[in-house]
A and B are shown apart, each in its own frame.
Chain A
């Protein structure tokens, strides 16, 4: 089976740094994606990791450790507009077109 765990909710302060963790136990692995989803809107792509290490994209960075089944999304210089749900998704090893999503982490940014 596929098991992807994320914290349900987090709160952070504007201007701060927050780390959202994702752990996965899947029968196979071929890449991990992070998406941002504002309430009532479509998920939008943030980052992709397939090899171990850190991928940096402006204020957002994502890290992957395949041996630990672990990833995190790091958001720096938080802005109010970053209040959203953050979804971690793992791609199936044998079916590149099948993705398993976590339940998402709702991030509340307060002034």
Chain B
């Protein structure tokens, strides 16, 4: 069990650029979640996949944000035309099986918009 891994750990980019983050969940986990966390706040739910199907999207996820999980394994989160307000930590989590199972989080990708 290598845990949930996210890449890159840090991303600095200029406003208006597109960025893409990757999440590799724990291999047997069928559920994958994306969250956004800003300083001093708890994680805010963005979206959720069960296998390759995106089953839920938060209203926080504007049309500049898109997430995929093409083969039900790794996932990508893309932000187009980044804005200052997108600066945050983007966390990925995965879980397996029934609803009593906790989510396992990755260390996140910290995005800074210049």
Interface residues of chain A, those whose CB is within 8 Å of chain B, are 4, 8, 30-31, 33, 35, 40-45, 48, 50, 87, 89, 91, 95-104
Nearest CB of chain A from residue B49's CB, rounded to whole Å: 9
Given A87-B43, A104-B42: A98 in contact with B56 (beta carbons within 8 A): yes
B100 A97 Cβ-Cβ under 8 A? no
List the A residue with the shortest CB-CB distance to B50. Answer: A97
A101 proximity list for chain B (CB < 8 A)? 35, 42-44
| A-B interface, 4 closest residue pairs, ranked by CB to CB distance from nearest | A101-B42, A45-B102, A42-B105, A96-B99
A30 to B108, CA, bound (A): 26
Residue of A nearest to B102 (CB): A45
- A31-B99, A42-B91 given; A95·B40 CB < 8 A: no
B52 within 8 Å of A (CB atoms) = no
Chain B contacts for A31, CB-based, 8 A: 99-100
Q: Tell me the smallest distance from the CB of A93 to a CB of chain B, in Å.
A: 11
> For A45, what are the chain B residues with a Cβ–Cβ distance below 8 Å?
102-104
Q: Are B43 and A43 in contact (CB under 8 A)?
A: yes
Complex alpha-carbon distance, A91 and B31, angstroms = 15
Task: Identify which of A30, A87, A95, A98 contacts B42 (C-beta below 8 A).
Answer: A87
How many angstroms between the C-alpha atoms of A101 and B37 in the bound complex? 10
> A40: which B residues are within 8 A, CB to CB?
107
Contact A97 B48 (CB under 8 A): yes
| CA gap between A42 and B102 in the complex, in Å | 13
* A49 vs B91: C-alpha distance when bound (angstroms): 23
Quick check: B107 and A42 within 8 Å, CB to CB?
Answer: yes
Minimum C-beta distance from B47 to chain A (A): 10
Complex CA distance for A90 and B24, rounded to whole angstroms:
25
B25 within 8 A of A: no
Whether the pair B55, A97 counts as a contact (CB closer than 8 A) is: yes
**In the complex, are the beta carbons of B91 and A99 less than 8 A apart?**
no
> Which chain A positions have C-beta within 8 A of B99?
30-31, 91, 96-97
CB pair B107–A103 under 8 Å, yes or no, is no
